[in-house]
């Protein structure tokens, strides 16, 4: 019996070591295809087999619309590899809007959780389920214990988690005491820019801050939905395009609109 006990302890230590190492035992990254962004990550792209946190500010903490759209586009290539599970607290996810962005809605499984605890439990189960490549979970906060459980679930099958910080019914903000997320993003909507000579709206844009990146470096960018991806869902291209690093303020020049005379 002592041999079995020692083997169990070794297995447990290995799991703890992998967790403390930030999931480095899980290989794979999802590059954005732009060195200005990929260089922020130690392996040249968004780490897979881990979970990532997305937050917003102001009144948007109740809708989480901008972070949800941004995270959906970020995960779209993963959703094409397997099933994508989206866990909600309010049944208000507009799937046609995701389709318009280029997200494969035929791979989407929606689950409406009764409360915060159930949302986290479902996310943990979904991440450890074979065939699931991406899991979205709308929760108010993730403490260190829940974060470690999510990470272990990610490592079970190599799925990637996208945690959307949302207070669907308002109320006081629940601040987590820490985070075990591989990355933490703050996302807000930005004015779109029509193509030169075109009237109307351009591709959706977001102001994005990478506030935390394990073994990498933070940054801030203006990003938009890649038009080629949203229109044709091309494979081999990332659905997000970097417009400009915000630190340098080298924004694309705007084209003045002409009113019809």
Span 175-211, pLDDT tens digits: 555 678 999 999 999 998 877 777 778 889 999 999 9
CATH of domain 25-245: 3.40.50.300
pLDDT single digits (tens) 14-54? 455 444 444 444 459 999 999 999 999 999 999 999 999 99
Q: Are 56 and 187 in contact (CB under 8 A)?
A: yes
* Domains of the chain by residue range: 25-245
Q: Which of 113-122, 220-229, 239-248 has the highest mean pLDDT?
A: 113-122
Alpha helices (runs of H) in the chain, residue ranges in sequence order: 2-20, 35-38, 65-79, 95-101, 116-127, 144-157, 227-232
Burial (CB count within 10 angstroms: exposed 0-12, middle 13-18, buried 19+), residue 153: buried
Q: What is the pTM of this model?
A: 0.80
Per-residue pLDDT at 194: 79
The whole-number average pLDDT for the span 50-74 is 90
- Phi, psi dihedrals of residue 245, rounded to the nearest 5°: -70, 125
Could you tell me the sign of the dihedral formed by the alpha carbons of 68, 70, 74, 78, in that order?
A: positive
- What mean pLDDT, rounded, does the chain reach? 82
Per-residue pLDDT at 12: 55
Question: CA–CA distance from 81 to each of 30, 104, 108, 250 (Å)?
Answer: 12, 10, 12, 35
């Amino acid at each position: 019996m002592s041999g079995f006990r020692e083997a169990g302890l070794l297995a447990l230590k290995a799991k703890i070591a992998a967790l403390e190492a930030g999931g480095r035992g899980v290989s794979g990254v999802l590059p954005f295809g732009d060195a200005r962004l990929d260089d922020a990550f130690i392996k040249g792209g968004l780490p897979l087999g881990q979970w990532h946190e997305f937050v917003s500010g102001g009144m948007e903490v109740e809708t989480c619309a901008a972070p949800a759209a941004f995270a959906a586009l970020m995960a779209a290539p993963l959703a094409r590899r397997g099933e994508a599970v989206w866990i909600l607290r309010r049944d208000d996810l507009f799937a046609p809007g995701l389709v318009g962005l280029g997200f494969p809605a035929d791979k989407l499984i929606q689950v409406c959780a009764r409360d915060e605890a159930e949302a986290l439990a479902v996310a943990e189960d979904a991440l450890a389920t074979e065939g699931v490549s991406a899991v979205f979970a709308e929760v108010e906060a993730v403490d260190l214990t829940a974060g470690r459980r999510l990470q272990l679930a990610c490592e079970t099958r190599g799925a990637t988690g996208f945690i959307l910080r949302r207070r669907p019914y308002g109320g006081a903000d629940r601040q987590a005491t820490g985070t075990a997320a591989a990355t933490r993003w703050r996302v807000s909507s930005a004015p779109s820019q029509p193509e030169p000579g075109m009237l109307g709206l351009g591709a959706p844009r977001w102001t994005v801050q990478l506030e935390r990146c394990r073994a990498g470096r933070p940054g801030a960018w203006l990003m938009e939905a890649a038009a080629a991806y949203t229109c044709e869902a091309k494979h081999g291209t990332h659905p997000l395009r970097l417009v400009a690093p915000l630190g340098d303020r080298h924004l694309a020049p705007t084209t003045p609109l002409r009113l019809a005379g």
